[in-house]
Amino acid sequence: MQIALFVIPFVVIVGWTFDKDMTIDFPPYEIYLFIVSVFIVSITMGNTTSNWLQGILLITLYVMIGCGFWFENVVDYVS
């Protein structure tokens, strides 16, 4: 959460420098992915030990997020 609170304003400021209109209006799909990924990572990191199944869970989550963004229907906002 701390990374997201830093990265989002930083990306908006970088967008301003490149004259790219950035908005913080995220599609619901991205919000759901963020919530699910925070939940899964917190469960995985909550244990003091780790095993191969937790590693596979994190890799699968990473691949699912990548595939989701690859096939996402992006709508351009006209300002």
Say how many CA atoms lie within 13 Å of 25 toward its Cβ: 9
pTM higher than 0.75: no
pLDDT in tens, 4-50: 788 888 888 888 888 877 777 777 878 888 888 888 888 888 887 88
Residues 24 and 9: their CA atoms lie apart, in Å, by 9
SS (H, E, C) the chain: CHHHHHHHHHHHHHHHHCCCCCCCCCCHHHHHHHHHHHHHHHHHHHCCCCCHHHHHHHHHHHHHHHHHHHCCCCCCCCC
